[in-house]
Amino acid sequence: MLLAPAPAAHAESSSLSSTWYLAEGSTDWGFQTNIFVENPNDTSCKVRMTFMTPNGPVQKPDFVMTAMSTVSVDPSTTLGEADFSTKVQCLTGQGIAVERTMAWPENSGDYFEGHSSIGVTAPSKTWYLAEGSSKWGFECWILVQNPNKKQAHVQLTYMIEGAGPKVVDKIVPAKSRRSFFMADDIGSADASVRVSADVPVIPERAMYRNGRREGSGSIGTTAPASDYYLAEGTTDWGFTTYILVQNPNPQPTHVTVTYMTPEGPIRDNPFTMAANSRTTIAANDVHPGKDLSTHVHGSRPIIAERAMYWSTETGEACHDSIGLSAPHTTFYLPDGESEPYDPDNAELGIETWTLVQNPNGFPVKVQISYIDQDVSSTVSIPANTRKTFNMADHFSTAPTASGIIVKSLTTGGKIMVEKSTYVLERTAGTDTIGAYSDEDTAIPVATGNHARSSSNSMKASTRVWNCARENLSPSI
C-alpha cells in the first residue's frame, strides 16, 4: 500500500519549543556526540533528555539550566557505546533550542570531521530531504526515529535525478531508531527522498565520503513551499557550493534562483523541473568568486538544501543544511565556539561564523548576542544582501563558548540565519540553521549569574572535538 503524503501545512519544524527531537546520534563506531541546549529565557528551566536506542528508551537524570545559558550533554556518560535518537523536553514549559554535533576520526586516525544539525520540534507522517547521494563515492544513510508506542510502517520514495521515483518499504520498531543505507535501496544514484509513515516519525540524512574523511547531515522539512532561503554559501575562498532542489509534485515546476551577494541580488533565468525529481545547481559554474545567500522560488512548492565542499591539506571536507521556507524575527544557535589555533597547547582553532541573510528590499538592523558571555553588538545589513560575523571578533584570544541569539530590530524586517563552524584550520566543518521565533520580545540581558566563565563553557562545548581527535570517551 502506498502511503499518501499528509496535507501540506507549514514547511518548517524548528521553531522555538519546549520539546525537541534529534533522529541522528551515535557514541559507537568511533563517533562522539554532544547535545547542546540553549535556554534563551530570563528564568531557569528544568530539562529532561531521553535517548531512544535499539534496546528501548534510556532517560538521563533531569537537570536545571540557569537563565540565558547553554549546556552541553555527552550521551556516552549515560549510554556507553550506542546508536540512538534523542528527545529533549523543557519540563517547566519554556521555549528552548537544541542542536547536536557529531565528530569522528577518519579511518587512518590522523584527522577528523564532524557534522551538526538543529533538531525538530514535532514528528510528522511526511518529510522531505532534498539532498542525498549514493554516487560519487558517498555513503548515504536515512535515519528514522519512531517516538511512538507502536511500530512505524515507513515508505522511502527516492526521487532519482535523471530517472523516475522508486518506493521502498521499511519498519521502525516503537521507541527506537533505524538507519537505512541508500545504496541498498537504489544502487548508485543522486536522489531526494520523501519519508512517509503511518504514524508520526522524525528522519535525518547523513552522508560520508572518502573513508569518512568528510561528512554532513541535515534534518528534513514536513512540507514543500513556494520559497526557500539559504543564508550560507560561497564560491570564493576555495569553496564549492551546490544548491539541491526537490520537486515532489506530480507536475513539472518552474524554478527561479536569486543569489544575494554583497553587490546586490542576481536573479538567474528560470528552469523547469520534471515531476518527482531532483536538480543539482553548481553555483560555482554560474557565479564564481562570490559570497552569496540564496532564494529559491518555485511555481509549485519545492524544497531546497545547500551543500558546500572545500579542499584542505588532509583532503576534502564538507557541510550541508536545509533551508527555511520563510525568514523570521529571531534565531537561536546553541553551539557557538571560538578558540585560537595553537596545536602545542591543544587549542583547536575553532571558528564560528554567523551568517545573516536580509531578503528584504530595505536595510535591517540586527542584534547578535552571545548569551553565556553577556556580549552583544548591533549592525545594519543592506537590502537583499548577506553579512557574515566571526565570533572571534569578540573573543579572539581566549577559548570561549556561548549560545547565540540573532534578532532583527527592524519592524517587518525578517531575516534568515545559519551558523558555520570550522576546526583545525578548516580541516573539519559543520553547518546548521537555527531555531527561530517571530515573537516581538526583547532579548533578556544577561548578568554575572547567567553567564559562565570562558574556561568552563569552553571545556563543555569543545569536548566533542577534543574526543574525536583523541578517539576517547570523555567524562563530564
Per-residue pLDDT of the chain (476 residues; tens, 9 = 90+): 445 443 334 456 778 999 999 999 999 998 999 999 999 999 999 999 999 998 889 999 999 999 999 999 999 999 999 999 999 999 999 999 999 999 988 665 556 789 999 999 999 999 999 999 999 999 999 999 999 999 999 999 999 998 989 999 999 999 999 999 999 999 999 999 999 999 999 999 999 998 888 999 999 999 999 999 999 999 999 999 999 999 999 999 999 999 999 888 999 999 999 999 999 999 999 999 999 999 999 999 999 999 999 998 888 999 999 999 999 999 999 999 998 887 666 667 899 999 999 999 999 999 999 999 999 999 999 999 999 999 999 987 788 999 999 999 999 999 999 999 999 889 899 999 999 999 866 555 443 333 333 333 333 344 465 544 343 223 33
Q: What span, in angstroms and rounded, lies between the C-alpha atoms of 289 and 42?
A: 43
Q: What span, in angstroms and rounded, lies between the C-alpha atoms of 382 and 364?
A: 7
| Contact call for residues 296 and 228 (beta carbons, < 8 A) | yes
- Number of C-beta neighbours around residue 404 at 10 A: 27
Residue type, 413: G
Q: What is the pLDDT of residue 420?
A: 97
- Number of C-beta neighbours around residue 151 at 10 A: 15
Q: What is the pLDDT of residue 466?
A: 52
Which three cell numbers, joined as nine digits, stand for 388? 557574515
Which three cell numbers, joined as nine digits, stand for 329? 524575527
| Contact call for residues 357 and 233 (beta carbons, < 8 A) | no
Coil/strand/helix, residue 37: strand
For 258, half-sphere exposure in the C-beta direction (CA atoms, 13 angstrom radius) is 18
Length of the chain: 476
Coil/strand/helix, residue 69: strand
- Number of C-beta neighbours around residue 278 at 10 A: 29
DSSP for 260-326? EETTEEEEPPPEEE-TTEEEEEEHHHHSTT-B-EEEEEEEEEEEEEEEEEEEETTEEEEEEEE-BSS
**How far does the chain reach from its first CA to its final CA, in angstroms?**
48
Which residue in 128, 210, 126, 143 sits closest to 182, CA to CA?
143
Q: What span, in angstroms and rounded, lies between the C-alpha atoms of 288 and 443?
A: 38
Residue spans of alpha helices (H) in 7-75: none
Q: HEC states along 400-422? A: EEEEEEEEECCCCCCEEEEEEEE
Q: What span, in angstroms and rounded, lies between the C-alpha atoms of 308 and 235?
A: 9
Strands 341-342 and 416-423: unpaired
Strands 69-73 and 112-118: unpaired
Helix (H) or strand (E) holding 183: helix 182-186
Q: What is the pLDDT of residue 221?
A: 95
Strands 85-90 and 19-22: antiparallel
Q: Is the domain covering 330-466 a CATH 2.60.290.11 domain?
A: yes
Domain ranges of the chain: 330-466
Q: What is the pLDDT of residue 109?
A: 59
Q: What span, in angstroms and rounded, lies between the C-alpha atoms of 317 and 457?
A: 27
